[in-house]
Amino acid sequence: MKIEIIGSGIVGLSCAAFFAEKKCDVTIISSSNGPDENCCSWWAGGMLAPWCEMESAEPLIGELGLESMKFWENFTSSYQKKGTLVVATSRDLPDLKRFGRRTENWQEVKQDQIAVLEPDLADRFSSGLYYPEEAHFDPRQILPELVNYLESMGVKFQSNTSFSAEELDAPPKADHRIDCRGLAAKDHLDELRGVKGEMLLIKSNEVKLSRPVRLLHPRIPLYIVPRDNGLFMVGATMIENENRSGATVRSILELLSAAYALHPAFGEAEIIEIGVDARPAFPDNLPRIIHKGHTTYLNGMYRHGYLAAPAMAKRLVEQVLRLNSTDEHPNEPALSTGNIE
């Protein structure tokens, strides 16, 4: 079966992986040069934190997250299961209690245990929550690794090729089209919106962290994800705004002051990069698979692109193969959010 996938962000690549496993003939067509800085996926922190996310997300995200984490663990050696540490300054300790009440699978850690987990934070926080089963990786390592894997499976790439409005409305040249254009698919998915996220990449040789650390903060709940060579991803704002053109002074000031509150040595860190994108999201902030004739959309990954894409892509592939085997192509959108088969 011939499949054309539009978009080479984490969603397009995940769909390609499951179609390739089913021996489909897959071509990925993308306006970006493979997965690059023009994709939202480029700017992600790479946290795989289903339990922490439960603080504000629906239980479905936890289920999809656990399934996707198994996929990532088997897929890449860059997968680091070192857990997440959540801390708060003494002023914000009630927030830590509230965070604990809303989440599961954590251990309370006191100053001496924090010192064992993250020696550089030893004297800075009196208590925290540790989520031992969570993981992280660097999306900029994972995306090329996925491309290499897909190429080895025979998937073809047509990069720097933008699908026009007419091409999107015409029937696919393949048996089925999978639209994974992220926020750009707003032109066909009425309810899709963008949630702006600003992030920083900083470099410090003075602070060492082994795992993502979240600092509960009244305005910006900051997280810092360690990467190789002294780099740290500092993220991320959540603003109901689709403007992807630049980060605001206020956001960067708040991210930097939260990083400084986590450890004053971040005051000496070098700013390597400021990044901005808008997360594609539906009103309930849950991902959706939508079938319209010979096109299927997977979108609305919100802040869970890496956490949920493999599990959603697996469901999408099963549904598309079933539709094509019975030749039932709904003309009206059939809508599902992952758990509805």
Ligand X SMILES: Cc1cc2nc3c(=O)[nH]c(=O)nc-3n(C[C@H](O)[C@H](O)[C@H](O)COP(=O)(O)OP(=O)(O)OC[C@H]3O[C@@H](n4cnc5c(N)ncnc54)[C@H](O)[C@@H]3O)c2cc1C
Q: Which residues of the shown chain bind ligand X in the complex (CB under 6 A)?
A: 6-12, 29-32, 38-41, 43-47, 162-163, 180-182, 184, 197, 199, 235-236, 277, 279-280, 299, 301-307
CB of 236 to ligand X, least distance (A): 4
Burial 309-331 (b: 16+ CB within 10 A, else e): bbbbbbbbbebbbebbeeeeeee
Beta-bridge partners for 156:
27
Q: Which is nearer to ligand X, 192 or 328 (CB)?
A: 192
- State the Cα–Cα distance between residues 30 and 179, nearest whole angstrom: 10
Nearest approach, Cβ of residue 161 and ligand X (Å): 6
Q: Which residues pair with 222 in a beta bridge?
A: 215
Positive or negative, the CA dihedral 62, 73, 238, 14 is: negative
- Find the shortest distance in angstroms from Cβ 159 to ligand X: 9
Task: Please answer whether residues 292 and 319 qualify as being in contact, where contact means their C-beta atoms are separated by less than 8 angstroms.
Answer: no
Q: Which is nearer to ligand X, 209 or 236 (CB)?
A: 236
Residue nearest to ligand X (CB): 9
CA distances from 151 to 21, 60, 157, 329 (A): 12, 31, 8, 29
In the complex, minimum distance from the CB of residue 32 to ligand X, in angstroms, rounded to a whole number:
3
- Beta carbon nearer to ligand X, 115 or 145: 145
Residue placing its CB nearer to ligand X in the complex, 177 or 263: 177
Q: Which is nearer to ligand X, 46 or 221 (CB)?
A: 46
Both tokens of residue 36?
A: 């690059």
Q: State the nearest-atom distance from the C-beta of 34 to ligand X, in Å.
A: 8
